[in-house]
Structure 1
Amino acid sequence: MTTALAASHESASQPLLDFAAGRVCRAADGWHAVLCIGSVEHRIWSKQPLTAGAHYAAELPIDRDFEARAHAATRLWRAMNGRAPGPAFHRLSKQRRVRLCGALRAVAAYFAGATYRSIAEALFGEKRIPDRTWKTHDLRSRTIRLVQSGLAFVRGGYRKLLGPERRDE
């Protein structure tokens, strides 16, 4: 999650960590930085150049992603103060992670020109694929659905992984 920062000289804000430990680059829309604090990467955006030792304040637009942005800002603040960042905002279930991995493997094979049958053999094992009843087998349908899910994921559906499912969509 990206957090926007604004320079501040108020004593209430926390000094930002040394940016030499992370990666900083200039872009058309401002400055982007990746801070590695412990085992967590924090992605930061600023309108002005980032300097070590300066004080910053987070600007969080009150929009539909406010809750996720506030959570990311809190995790950054906790990490900067030597505390555990806490749990991730949104976690995928093991079943969903396994399905997404299968969909990505299936769509990668599909883009490489593999047939549905060869994709199914790679995903589920050659012994589970029948010789004669392939056209009506449930693994064929499952493979096609995995490829379709992978295609939707590649075409921008991956953004849905960033937050919990919403009822308003």
Structure 2
Amino acid sequence: MPPERDWRTPPEEARDETLQYSDIAMGYLSRNARYRTEYRRAIGRVKRGAVKSDDATAALVLRWGISFHTDPSAAFDAKLAVARPSLSPTEIVLAPALSGIAAERLDPKSLGDIRACITIGDFRHFILADKDGDEHLWVAGSFGRPLAMMLPFETDPLVRLASAERFCRRLLGMAVGPPPLRPTQFRRHHLLTLLQVLDGHDAGATRRELAAALIDRDVRDYSAADWNGSRERKRISRWIKDAVELRDGGYIRLLRGG
């Protein structure tokens, strides 16, 4: 997984202002020990030729809901992650159009810069590079026949509708703008801070050390009694609980902007 680093330093994700919730979700999952073990095993099997990289990725996505691509030449690339479309409403799904529905064939060249493409089950999954945030496209069937976008009824259909509109603007050569589920600056900062909390917690940092580095450096000078009753101690304890929960399954909520 991503190389170990000093937890006091903001995570690598902090350098990317185009982060989407799925990118941050991947940051949490990449810190899950069980996922890390399964991912390493999958990479090993791909290197030995025991399984194709696409099949290994598909198995991890089915198991975890989201995963890095298991391409040994590009392992740990945060831009190469794929989430199940049923979990992420920002994913765009194309399928053969029904008979009698006026639909045109889609020219693959109109997709623009394709960062990656893999096969998962009956779908081809494309990551379409964009400076404001990548788009994720799932295509069932062939580009050689008319396709239609699927907009299933769900809890929040407007997010998927906004993603579909963004994709259409791309096909028309128009400016697409930011993705519909990009976190606010405050939310992004908080979620990345919780990643630091996780890294520090896993590195053996005490609650006071975490609070001094991430909340208020003055807590280092608190007396034992002052520290035990402090707001900073309560806050860092809550942050640890939230961060661990996100790592151990709560990251799925992030795929919907939760």
TM-score (norm 1): 0.78
Query: Does residue 1:21 correspond to 2:110, yes or no?
Result: no
Contact 2:127/2:134 (<8 A) preserved = yes
What displacement does 1:104 show? 1.7
Task: Find the aligned partners of 1:164 and 1:35 in 2 and give their Cα distance.
Answer: 20
Residues 27 and 74 from structure 1, CA distance in 2 versus in 1: closer, same or farther, beyond 3 angstroms?
same
Q: How does 1:31-110 map to 2 (within 5 A)?
A: 31-37=124-130, 39-49=132-142, 51=143, 55-110=146-201
1:24, CA displacement in angstroms? 1.3
Q: Give, in angstroms, the shift of residue 126 of structure 1.
A: 3.3
Change (3 A) 1:129 1:13: farther
Counterpart code for 1:152: E
AA aligned to 1:21 is D
**Partner amino acid for 1:64?**
T
Residue matched to 1:145: 238
Aligned to 2:129, the other structure's residue is in SS state strand
**Compared CA separation, residues 14 and 41, structure 1 to 2 (3 A):** farther
Q: Aligned residues, how many?
A: 163
Taking the aligned partners of 1:21 and 1:110, their CA distance within structure 2 comes to: 39
Match of 1:156 in 2: 249
- DSSP 3-state at the match of 1:6: strand
1:110 Cα offset (Å) = 1.0
| Higher mean C-alpha displacement, 143-152 vs 78-87 | 78-87
The share of aligned pairs that are identical, in percent, is 26
Which structure: larger Rg?
1
145-154 vs 88-97, which moves further: 88-97
Unaligned runs of 5+ in 1: none
Q: Secondary structure at the residue paired with 2:162?
A: helix
Deviations 1:133-157 (A, max 9, x none): 2211211111111111212222333
Helix, strand or coil for the counterpart of 1:5? strand
CA deviations 1:28-63 (Å, max 9, x no partner) are: 3421111225544211112225x4x76532112112
Q: Give 1:76 deviation, angstroms.
A: 0.3
Structure-2 residue corresponding to 1:3: 92
Q: State the 1:159 CA deviation.
A: 3.6
Cross-structure match for 2:210 = 119
Whole-Å separation in 2 of the counterparts to 1:38 and 1:119: 34
Normalized per residue, which structure has more strand? 1
Gaps of 5+ in 2: 1-89
Q: Which letter maps to 2:234?
A: S
Tell me by how many angstroms 1:161 deviates.
3.5
